[in-house]
Amino acid sequence: MNYRKDLEETIKYIENNISDSIGLENIAQNVAYSPFHFSRIFFNAYQITIMEYVRRRRLELAISGLNRGMKIIDVAMEYGFSTASGFSKAFRKYYGISPTNYTSTTLIKQRAILEQATGIPKDVLEENVRFETKDSFTVIGFSTQPISHIGSSTSEFAAGWESVEHEKPESYLYNKLNPTAHGEVGIFLPDENGLGRYILGLPMNNCSFAEADMKCVRVPQATYAVFTTIAVDEEVNPGTFSETIRKTWRGIFENWLQDSDYTYDSTKLDFEYYDERCHSDLDAVMEIWIPVIKTARLEQHSI
């Protein structure tokens, strides 16, 4: 299935309708997906939610409106903000300056909304994939506050854990749940507001050990394409592990699934798996589990 084409079509659709009242349902419907399904595809490919992309794109275009001398209220209305105060708040948060204090000579640090780096090539992914059918299981863990994107630094992502009372959530989970094996599961679950929560937990048999402040997610049985990320040396090149994870996600949806014998199974859940191999700075790897369905290819017969 050509997910790259659908993602590119979505960017064009947003651009053409950026001044209109577009929502998650409209955007997903344009490429014939359910909002929940396409939210996960878009987030996995770009590490940002669809509606956060829309918001940031509108803020970028707002700069041109201010440069033309438009009033703040007119800019807000032009680019889909319901109030001038809501626009001003979003503008300040994104640019670090209020639109009132902005002038055409103000130096604004522009940031790429979507990562420019391409995903891992298909031939490399092919060398690091296996297929496995896994029974249903339960993940018990902690959830972030609603997040709109996964930043390039761990400090940005860690900000989403502010609701977790425990200083070391991972250690707390192991001490309380006492699993039979080491390994953490990470799952991103989008919500109807265009945001989502990232749940990091331990695979268990049921929810009986979950405490009040923990989340419990049931992962259904599925057949998975399991991708092991390329081994990296974090000690020599800090940050390459998280960068490789993002590039692998993007490569799966932009490169591997395109013209593949498999399609993404939207009725199941994808997840990340971290075991002992990710705790070493040398040759650190993790796994991305993608639920798939093998598609039937028509045989071509010569006449």
Query: 10 Å Cβ neighbour count for 21?
Result: 8
pLDDT tens digits along 52-64? 889 888 988 888 8
pLDDT score at 299: 46
| Cα–Cα distances in angstroms (integers) from residue 164 to residues 143, 145, 160, 193, 213, in the given order | 8, 9, 9, 22, 8
pLDDT score at 158: 46
Question: d(Cα 42, Cα 48) in Å, to the nearest integer?
Answer: 7
Which tokens hold the place of 277? 């191999």
**132: part of which helix (H) or strand (E)?**
strand 129-134
Ordered by where they begin, the domains of the chain are 3-95 (1.10.10.60), 122-294 (3.20.80.10)
Apex 291 CA angle, 218 and 48, nearest 5? 85
- What is the band of 115 on the pLDDT scale with cuts at 50, 70, 90? low
In terms of Cα–Cα distance, which of 187, 213, 220, 191 is closest to 202? Answer: 187
Mean pLDDT within 168-177: 88
pLDDT score at 298: 45
Residue type, 242: S
pLDDT score at 150: 56
| Cα–Cα distances in angstroms (integers) from residue 289 to residues 16, 106, 242, 248, in the given order | 34, 45, 16, 11
Query: What percent helix, strand, coil does the chain show, rounded to 5?
Result: 35, 20, 45
Query: 10 Å Cβ neighbour count for 55?
Result: 20
For the ranges 26-30, 72-76, 193-197, which has the lowest average pLDDT? 193-197
In terms of Cα–Cα distance, which of 216, 225, 212, 253 is closest to 119? Answer: 253
Predicted confidence (pLDDT) at residue 159 exceeds the cutoff of 80: no
Question: d(Cα 126, Cα 227) in Å, to the nearest integer?
Answer: 9
Q: What is the distance between the terminal CA atoms of the chain, rounded to a whole angstrom?
A: 28
Question: d(Cα 49, Cα 192) in Å, to the nearest integer?
Answer: 11
**38: CB partners within 8 A, 6+ apart:** 6, 10, 27, 28, 31, 50
Beta pairing partners, 264: 292
Mean pLDDT within 69-77: 90
In terms of Cα–Cα distance, which of 13, 39, 17, 34 is closest to 193? Answer: 39
Query: Which of the two residues, 226 and 48, has the higher pLDDT score?
Result: 226
What percent of the chain shows pLDDT beyond 70? 84
pTM as predicted: 0.74
- What is the band of 29 on the pLDDT scale with cuts at 50, 70, 90? very high
pLDDT tens digits along 175-226? 999 998 889 999 988 877 667 788 889 999 999 999 998 999 999 999 999 9
Predicted confidence (pLDDT) at residue 36 exceeds the cutoff of 60: yes
Which tokens hold the place of 60? 């970028």
